[in-house]
Amino acid sequence: MGDRIIASMPAVQVGVRAQRDVLGRVVCYLVGEAGIRQLLDIGSGLPAAENVHEIAQRIAPATKVVYLDNDPVVLSHAQAILADNKVTFAAEGDLLDPAALLAEPDVRNGLDWHQPVGLLLCGILHYILDEGKPGDIVDALYRALPAGSYVFIHHMLDSDDPGSVMLQTEMQRSLGRTKFRTFAEINELFAGLELVEPGVVLVPDWRPGPGTPSAADHPVLKLAAAGVAHKARTS
Protein backbone atom coordinates (compact mmCIF):
# COMPACT_ATOMS: atom_id res chain seq x y z
CA MET A 1 0.00 0.00 0.00
CA GLY A 2 2.79 2.39 0.90
CA ASP A 3 4.54 1.79 -2.42
CA ARG A 4 1.34 2.44 -4.36
CA ILE A 5 0.60 5.65 -2.51
CA ILE A 6 4.16 6.93 -2.94
CA ALA A 7 4.08 6.07 -6.65
CA SER A 8 0.89 8.07 -7.21
CA MET A 9 1.64 10.80 -4.66
CA PRO A 10 5.38 11.06 -3.88
CA ALA A 11 4.89 14.13 -1.69
CA VAL A 12 3.07 11.98 0.88
CA GLN A 13 6.48 11.23 2.37
CA VAL A 14 6.62 14.87 3.52
CA GLY A 15 3.32 14.27 5.31
CA VAL A 16 4.63 11.17 7.05
CA ARG A 17 7.68 13.06 8.31
CA ALA A 18 5.41 15.89 9.44
CA GLN A 19 3.36 13.40 11.47
CA ARG A 20 6.47 12.22 13.28
CA ASP A 21 7.62 15.81 13.79
CA VAL A 22 4.35 16.99 15.32
CA LEU A 23 4.34 13.96 17.62
CA GLY A 24 7.79 15.04 18.80
CA ARG A 25 6.65 18.62 19.34
CA VAL A 26 3.66 17.41 21.34
CA VAL A 27 5.81 15.18 23.54
CA CYS A 28 8.17 18.11 24.16
CA TYR A 29 5.18 20.27 25.11
CA LEU A 30 3.63 17.67 27.42
CA VAL A 31 6.83 16.75 29.23
CA GLY A 32 8.77 19.99 28.96
CA GLU A 33 6.00 22.57 29.43
CA ALA A 34 2.95 20.84 30.92
CA GLY A 35 5.02 18.74 33.32
CA ILE A 36 3.47 15.40 32.35
CA ARG A 37 5.58 12.45 33.53
CA GLN A 38 3.71 9.52 32.03
CA LEU A 39 2.55 8.87 28.49
CA LEU A 40 0.22 6.28 26.97
CA ASP A 41 0.79 5.84 23.23
CA ILE A 42 -2.02 3.83 21.61
CA GLY A 43 -1.32 2.43 18.16
CA SER A 44 2.37 3.24 18.45
CA GLY A 45 3.42 1.35 15.31
CA LEU A 46 6.88 0.07 14.48
CA PRO A 47 9.73 1.71 16.42
CA ALA A 48 11.34 4.55 14.47
CA ALA A 49 13.95 7.23 14.99
CA GLU A 50 13.13 9.63 17.82
CA ASN A 51 10.56 7.47 19.55
CA VAL A 52 8.23 8.93 22.18
CA HIS A 53 10.20 7.55 25.12
CA GLU A 54 13.51 8.83 23.73
CA ILE A 55 12.18 12.38 23.37
CA ALA A 56 10.39 12.34 26.72
CA GLN A 57 13.20 10.80 28.72
CA ARG A 58 15.75 13.16 27.23
CA ILE A 59 13.74 15.96 28.88
CA ALA A 60 12.83 14.10 32.09
CA PRO A 61 14.56 10.70 32.43
CA ALA A 62 11.99 9.28 34.87
CA THR A 63 9.06 9.79 32.47
CA LYS A 64 7.05 6.57 32.15
CA VAL A 65 5.90 5.51 28.70
CA VAL A 66 3.56 2.67 27.76
CA TYR A 67 3.23 1.73 24.10
CA LEU A 68 0.16 -0.20 23.00
CA ASP A 69 -0.38 -1.92 19.66
CA ASN A 70 -2.31 -4.94 18.39
CA ASP A 71 0.38 -6.02 15.91
CA PRO A 72 2.65 -8.84 17.20
CA VAL A 73 5.51 -7.73 14.94
CA VAL A 74 5.37 -4.22 16.39
CA LEU A 75 5.33 -5.62 19.93
CA SER A 76 8.25 -7.96 19.25
CA HIS A 77 10.45 -5.14 17.96
CA ALA A 78 9.40 -2.72 20.69
CA GLN A 79 9.94 -5.19 23.51
CA ALA A 80 13.42 -6.03 22.21
CA ILE A 81 14.38 -2.35 22.04
CA LEU A 82 12.97 -1.66 25.50
CA ALA A 83 14.42 -4.69 27.28
CA ASP A 84 16.77 -2.57 29.42
CA ASN A 85 14.43 0.38 29.95
CA LYS A 86 12.76 0.10 33.36
CA VAL A 87 10.18 2.87 32.88
CA THR A 88 9.01 2.09 29.34
CA PHE A 89 6.78 -0.82 28.36
CA ALA A 90 5.22 -2.24 25.20
CA ALA A 91 2.03 -4.26 25.52
CA GLU A 92 -0.82 -5.59 23.43
CA GLY A 93 -3.91 -3.43 23.23
CA ASP A 94 -6.74 -2.78 20.79
CA LEU A 95 -8.32 0.67 20.62
CA LEU A 96 -11.62 -0.94 19.58
CA ASP A 97 -11.86 -2.46 23.08
CA PRO A 98 -11.02 0.39 25.45
CA ALA A 99 -12.12 -1.49 28.58
CA ALA A 100 -9.72 -4.36 27.90
CA LEU A 101 -7.02 -1.92 26.87
CA LEU A 102 -7.29 -0.02 30.14
CA ALA A 103 -7.23 -3.30 32.09
CA GLU A 104 -3.95 -4.42 30.49
CA PRO A 105 -1.49 -5.01 33.38
CA ASP A 106 1.26 -2.82 31.92
CA VAL A 107 -1.27 -0.01 31.55
CA ARG A 108 -2.68 -0.40 35.06
CA ASN A 109 0.65 -1.03 36.79
CA GLY A 110 3.07 0.81 34.52
CA LEU A 111 1.31 4.14 35.05
CA ASP A 112 0.16 5.91 38.19
CA TRP A 113 -3.56 6.50 37.63
CA HIS A 114 -3.67 9.05 40.43
CA GLN A 115 -1.41 11.37 38.42
CA PRO A 116 -2.00 13.06 35.02
CA VAL A 117 -1.37 11.03 31.88
CA GLY A 118 -0.56 12.18 28.36
CA LEU A 119 -2.70 10.09 25.98
CA LEU A 120 -1.32 9.93 22.44
CA LEU A 121 -3.66 8.97 19.59
CA CYS A 122 -1.39 9.65 16.66
CA GLY A 123 -2.64 8.55 13.26
CA ILE A 124 -5.04 5.90 14.54
CA LEU A 125 -8.57 7.30 14.86
CA HIS A 126 -8.99 7.67 11.09
CA TYR A 127 -8.93 3.86 10.91
CA ILE A 128 -12.15 3.68 12.93
CA LEU A 129 -15.26 4.08 10.79
CA ASP A 130 -18.28 5.99 12.08
CA GLU A 131 -20.10 2.72 12.77
CA GLY A 132 -17.22 1.83 15.10
CA LYS A 133 -18.30 4.82 17.25
CA PRO A 134 -14.95 6.55 17.71
CA GLY A 135 -16.64 9.17 19.91
CA ASP A 136 -17.69 6.47 22.39
CA ILE A 137 -14.21 4.94 22.33
CA VAL A 138 -12.40 8.17 23.13
CA ASP A 139 -15.02 9.08 25.75
CA ALA A 140 -14.29 5.80 27.57
CA LEU A 141 -10.59 6.63 27.52
CA TYR A 142 -11.12 10.23 28.65
CA ARG A 143 -13.25 9.14 31.58
CA ALA A 144 -10.43 6.90 32.80
CA LEU A 145 -7.84 9.68 32.68
CA PRO A 146 -7.02 11.49 35.92
CA ALA A 147 -7.76 15.21 36.13
CA GLY A 148 -4.91 17.23 34.68
CA SER A 149 -4.30 14.76 31.85
CA TYR A 150 -3.80 15.70 28.20
CA VAL A 151 -4.89 14.11 24.91
CA PHE A 152 -3.18 14.40 21.53
CA ILE A 153 -4.96 13.47 18.29
CA HIS A 154 -3.46 13.38 14.81
CA HIS A 155 -6.12 12.68 12.18
CA MET A 156 -6.36 12.66 8.38
CA LEU A 157 -8.43 15.55 7.10
CA ASP A 158 -11.49 15.30 4.87
CA SER A 159 -11.63 18.22 2.44
CA ASP A 160 -12.25 19.08 -1.19
CA ASP A 161 -8.52 18.94 -1.83
CA PRO A 162 -7.84 16.43 -4.68
CA GLY A 163 -4.96 15.01 -2.65
CA SER A 164 -7.29 14.23 0.24
CA VAL A 165 -9.73 12.44 -2.05
CA MET A 166 -6.93 10.48 -3.74
CA LEU A 167 -5.24 9.43 -0.50
CA GLN A 168 -8.48 8.43 1.22
CA THR A 169 -9.54 6.38 -1.81
CA GLU A 170 -6.20 4.55 -1.91
CA MET A 171 -6.22 3.85 1.83
CA GLN A 172 -9.81 2.58 1.69
CA ARG A 173 -8.96 0.33 -1.24
CA SER A 174 -5.86 -1.05 0.44
CA LEU A 175 -7.01 -1.29 4.05
CA GLY A 176 -10.77 -1.60 3.71
CA ARG A 177 -11.36 0.89 6.51
CA THR A 178 -10.39 4.55 6.50
CA LYS A 179 -12.44 7.57 7.47
CA PHE A 180 -10.98 11.02 6.94
CA ARG A 181 -12.86 13.65 8.97
CA THR A 182 -13.49 17.38 8.76
CA PHE A 183 -12.13 19.93 11.22
CA ALA A 184 -15.55 19.99 12.89
CA GLU A 185 -15.63 16.21 13.25
CA ILE A 186 -12.10 16.11 14.66
CA ASN A 187 -13.01 18.81 17.16
CA GLU A 188 -15.93 16.62 18.27
CA LEU A 189 -13.44 13.88 19.17
CA PHE A 190 -12.16 16.19 21.91
CA ALA A 191 -15.64 16.59 23.45
CA GLY A 192 -15.49 17.31 27.17
CA LEU A 193 -11.88 18.50 27.07
CA GLU A 194 -10.35 21.98 26.84
CA LEU A 195 -8.31 22.55 23.70
CA VAL A 196 -4.79 23.88 24.11
CA GLU A 197 -3.75 26.73 21.80
CA PRO A 198 -3.74 26.81 18.82
CA GLY A 199 -6.59 24.25 18.84
CA VAL A 200 -7.13 21.75 16.04
CA VAL A 201 -5.05 22.95 13.11
CA LEU A 202 -3.09 21.66 10.14
CA VAL A 203 -0.18 19.53 11.36
CA PRO A 204 2.59 22.06 10.53
CA ASP A 205 0.63 24.81 12.29
CA TRP A 206 0.63 23.09 15.69
CA ARG A 207 3.36 25.00 17.53
CA PRO A 208 5.87 24.85 14.66
CA GLY A 209 9.56 25.01 15.38
CA PRO A 210 12.39 26.42 13.31
CA GLY A 211 12.49 24.70 9.94
CA THR A 212 9.00 23.22 10.17
CA PRO A 213 7.73 22.90 6.56
CA SER A 214 4.64 24.94 5.73
CA ALA A 215 1.46 23.86 3.98
CA ALA A 216 1.94 26.78 1.59
CA ASP A 217 5.17 25.22 0.36
CA HIS A 218 4.00 21.60 0.63
CA PRO A 219 0.28 21.22 -0.18
CA VAL A 220 0.36 17.60 1.05
CA LEU A 221 0.52 19.05 4.57
CA LYS A 222 -3.09 20.16 4.18
CA LEU A 223 -4.19 16.51 4.46
CA ALA A 224 -3.93 16.07 8.23
CA ALA A 225 -4.81 17.94 11.41
CA ALA A 226 -3.55 17.80 14.96
CA GLY A 227 -4.68 19.05 18.34
CA VAL A 228 -4.02 18.73 22.06
CA ALA A 229 -6.61 19.09 24.81
CA HIS A 230 -6.58 19.18 28.61
CA LYS A 231 -8.84 17.34 31.04
CA ALA A 232 -9.31 20.02 33.65
CA ARG A 233 -11.58 18.04 35.93
CA THR A 234 -12.88 14.54 36.45
CA SER A 235 -15.96 13.76 34.36
pLDDT band at 101 (very low <50, low <70, confident <90, very high): very high
Q: pLDDT digits over 149-194, tens only?
A: 999 999 999 987 777 777 777 777 766 778 999 999 999 999 999 9
Rounding to the nearest 10 degrees, give the CA dihedral for residues 208, 214, 218, 221. Answer: 50
Average pLDDT of the residues in 4-11: 64
Higher pLDDT, 31 or 10: 31
Average pLDDT of the residues in 42-55: 85
Higher pLDDT, 56 or 78: 56
In this prediction, residue 15 carries a pLDDT of 79
Q: pLDDT digits over 185-221, tens only?
A: 999 999 999 999 999 999 999 999 999 999 888 888 8
Average pLDDT of the residues in 74-86: 87
Q: What is the pTM of this model?
A: 0.92
